[in-house]
Chains A and B, each alone.
Chain A
Amino acid sequence: NAGVTQTPKFQVLKTGQSMTLQCAQDMNHEYMSWYRQDPGMGLRLIHYSVGAGITDQGEVPNGYNVSRSTTEDFPLRLLSAAPSQTSVYFCASSYGRGRNEQFFGPGTRLTVL
């Protein structure tokens, strides 16, 4: 199993550009989440999903959209990037149904100029 994969690893955007961060898992996990981590801080939850077709907002959802059309994929969309969205983004998944240990991807390092 590849586990949780994220693409790209690095990305530089200009203010106002849009892009999608990709996240995929091959463990047949029901639950998936997106976090951001700013320098010197812990992770903050952006959006999460408890299954295909179901998403909800986390702690810091503004400026981000998500969808969950399949169990495997959970893309994160930035519609109009802002410098405040410069961060490291982590995707995570877990089996759910009482087995909630989350497995994290390697992260995407995003810089918005």
Chain B
Amino acid sequence: DAKTTQPTSMDCAEGRAANLPCNHSTISGNEYVYWYRQIHSQGPQYIIHGLKNNETNEMASLIITEDRKSSTLILPHATLRDTAVYYCIVSLGGNQFYFGTGTSLTVIP
């Protein structure tokens, strides 16, 4: 599975959009991009995933560049409850997920 690179930490003002970048320059054509988050020491929570097209659900939007070498997770209106560590993972699917250290997002009041 391809490795990912994410910033260690980011801040975002409450109510503003949080844009979390991820580089995955060695991604292969059939690997998906998954995003999870982990609040405090709870189990990670699935957010969204995509292959080529941009995706949106009730939690977030996922923008994947045309060359698929990077992506951005967008939380449209960040709240204090969105403070968490966000993990970007590329995977063929199945259940072999390789987590990095993620981005620690702090939403500031």
User: By the criterion CB–CB under 8 Å, are A42 and B99 in contact?
Assistant: yes
A21, CB-defined interface residue at 8 Å: no
Query: Which of chain B's residues has its CB closest to A90's CB?
Result: B43
Chain B contact residues: over half helix, strand or loop, or mixed? loop
Indicate if the CB atoms of A31 and B95 lie closer than 8 Å.
yes
Q: Are B95 and A92 in contact (CB under 8 A)?
A: yes
User: What's the tally of chain B residues with a CB closer than 8 Å to chain A?
Assistant: 22
The dominant DSSP class at the A interface is strand
Q: Are A32 and B95 in contact (CB under 8 A)?
A: yes
A88 on interface, CB distance cutoff 8 Å: yes
- Chain A residue numbers with a CB within 8 Å of B36 are 102
Given contacts A98-B93, A101-B49, contact A107 B41 (CB under 8 A): yes
Binary CB contact string for chain A from 8 to 46 against chain B (1 if under 8 A, 0 otherwise) = 000000000000000000000001110100001111110
**CB-CB under 8 A for A45 and B93, given A88-B41, A90-B43:** no
Q: What's the Cα separation between A61 and B32 when bound, in Å?
A: 25
Which residues of B lie under 8 Å from residue A50 when comparing CB positions?
94-95
0 or 1 for each of B86-104: is its CB under 8 Å from A? (1 = yes): 0100010111111111100
Assess whether B95 is in contact with A105, with CB atoms less than 8 Å apart: no
> How far does the Cβ of A33 sit from chain B's closest Cβ, in whole Å?
5
A42, B43: Cβ atoms closer than 8 Å: no
Instruction: Look across to chain B and name the residue whose beta carbon is closest to the beta carbon of A107.
Output: B43
Residue positions of B touching A, CB distance < 8 A: 32, 34, 36, 41-46, 49, 87, 91, 93-102
Nearest first, the 8 closest Cβ-Cβ pairs linking A and B are: A104-B43, A42-B99, A31-B95, A43-B99, A101-B46, A100-B93, A33-B95, A42-B101
